[in-house]
């Protein structure tokens, strides 16, 4: 572990021991648990993802905020605590969604929080973790030329040298604009065994990628090249869902168009847009989108673990 880990960050003994021994560690975010999945699936996913990582011989480090303290390597009880307080599951505690800007507020107010890709990547890097998996990355929202709504994930990834496995960004975002912003921010994006940028629920967003890799060893070589150049950007590995497992693309396009029309008709704007659209898609697909969501995430966790092993050498 680096010797300049900020004093407010708690790194679990298990994660610290693994890092100090040079063993592979994979960071996992927690907003997917607190704000991305319904209860009780969120807890199942949180615990089974860690189990999947362990089976691959890698130490999982789920990251989140407990009572104001950012924790790298949440215990099962802490994961349960964050999952139980999420969404509308009742009780008098709430859990907030913390991007990097929210960490000081969560600390000062002793809040519980799920951490976004931005906050998770920053905390993981500060603790010395080199690989992370997520479901879908934040990106540029549709209409961003008016609203300026672009996820803070992008800015943090421009200055955080980690390798991040995702299945691209969800098609509710402006995917073309997101890829343009990634280019502007000097963030390399490579397809894992594909030359097409994936769109989370579907394997092909319609946008091409300039580069592809074929193996976890390729990803490790890329991270090493970045480090040898002294560059600060994350390396993004875009891992598509299997074509047989994806939402039928024509069905996906139809439901998305309906969802966007409903949001516009009902005057849904700003931060309410994403939850509205995702909920619409989930209901309109009769839960099929949730099953794809879980499949996509499992795939990213499994690949992240393999890359963590390759990076650890
Ligand atoms: N995209 C998804 N599901 C999610 C998220 C993104 O398909 O749960 C979460 C991730 O934690 C991501 C965050 O980092 O939302 C981005 O939120 P914002 O756009 O507010 O930065
Ligand atoms: Mn936003």
Tens-binned pLDDT, residue by residue, of the chain (313 aa): 999 999 999 999 999 999 999 999 999 999 999 998 989 999 999 999 999 999 999 999 999 999 999 999 999 999 999 999 865 544 556 899 999 999 999 999 999 999 999 999 999 999 999 999 999 999 999 999 999 999 999 999 999 999 999 999 999 999 999 999 999 999 999 999 999 999 999 999 999 999 999 999 999 999 999 999 999 999 999 999 999 999 999 999 999 999 999 999 999 987 788 889 988 999 999 999 999 999 999 999 999 999 999 999 8
Position 93 scores a pLDDT of 64
Ligand 1 centre distance from Cα of residue 134 (Å)? 9
Ligand 1 centre distance from Cα of residue 34 (Å)? 11
Q: Domains, the chain, ranges and CATH?
A: 1-129 (3.40.1790.10), 140-313 (3.40.1790.10)
Pairing type for strands 25-28 and 59-66 reads parallel
Active-site hit among 14, 29, 146, 180: 29
Position 271 scores a pLDDT of 76
Binding residues: 97, 117, 149, 151-153
Ligand 1 centre distance from Cα of residue 309 (Å)? 26
Position 275 scores a pLDDT of 83
Rounded Cα gap, residues 266 and 246, in angstroms: 29
Rounded Cα gap, residues 149 and 183, in angstroms: 18
Judge contact between 158 and 189, C-beta under 8 A. no
Judge contact between 221 and 190, C-beta under 8 A. no
170 catalytic, yes or no? yes
29 catalytic, yes or no? yes
Position 89 scores a pLDDT of 47
Q: What's the ipTM?
A: 0.97
Position 256 scores a pLDDT of 95
> Which tokens in the block code for residue 250?
């024509």
Judge contact between 71 and 63, C-beta under 8 A. yes
Rounded Cα gap, residues 292 and 117, in angstroms: 20
Rounded Cα gap, residues 198 and 178, in angstroms: 12
Q: Please report how many Cα atoms fall inside a 13 Å half-sphere around the Cα of residue 171, on the Cβ side.
A: 27
Residue with tokens 């010395």: 128
Phi and psi at residue 93, in whole multiples of 5°? -100, 145
Residue nearest to atom 18 of ligand 1 (CA): 151
What pTM does this model have? 0.96
Pairing type for strands 59-66 and 69-72 reads antiparallel
Position 308 scores a pLDDT of 98
Active-site hit among 78, 170, 295, 306: 170
């Amino acid at each position: 572990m680096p010797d300049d880990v900020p004093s407010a960050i708690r790194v679990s003994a298990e994660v610290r021991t693994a890092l100090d021994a040079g063993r592979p560690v994979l960071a996992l975010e927690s907003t997917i648990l607190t704000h991305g999945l319904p209860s009780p699936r969120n807890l199942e996913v949180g615990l089974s993802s860690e189990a999947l990582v362990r089976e691959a011989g890698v130490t999982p480090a789920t990251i989140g905020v407990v009572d104001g303290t950012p924790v790298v390597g949440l215990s099962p009880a802490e994961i349960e605590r964050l999952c139980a307080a999420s969404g509308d599951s009742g009780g008098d505690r709430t859990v907030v969604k913390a991007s990097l800007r929210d960490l000081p507020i969560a600390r000062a107010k002793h809040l519980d929080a799920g951490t976004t890709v931005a906050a998770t990547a920053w905390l993981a890097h500060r603790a010395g973790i080199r690989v992370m998996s997520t479901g879908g990355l934040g990106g540029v929202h549709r209409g961003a030329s008016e609203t300026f709504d672009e996820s803070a994930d992008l800015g943090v990834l421009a200055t955080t040298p980690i390798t991040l496995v995702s299945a691209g960004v969800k098609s509710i975002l402006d995917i073309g604009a997101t890829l343009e912003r990634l280019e502007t921010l000097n963030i390399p994006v490579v397809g894992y065994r594909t030359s097409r940028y994936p769109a989370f629920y579907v394997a092909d967003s319609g946008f091409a990628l300039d580069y592809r890799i074929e193996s976890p060893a390729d990803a490790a070589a890329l991270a090493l090249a970045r480090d040898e150049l002294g560059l600060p950007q994350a390396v993004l590995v875009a891992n598509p869902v299997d074509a047989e497992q994806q939402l039928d693309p024509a069905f996906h396009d139809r439901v998305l168009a309906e969802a966007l029309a409903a949001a516009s008709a009902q005057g849904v704007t700003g931060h309410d847009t994403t939850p509205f659209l995702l909920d619409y898609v989930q209901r309109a697909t009769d839960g099929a989108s949730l099953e794809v969501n879980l499949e996509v995430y499992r795939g990213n966790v499994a690949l992240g673990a393999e890359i963590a092993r390759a990076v650890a050498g």
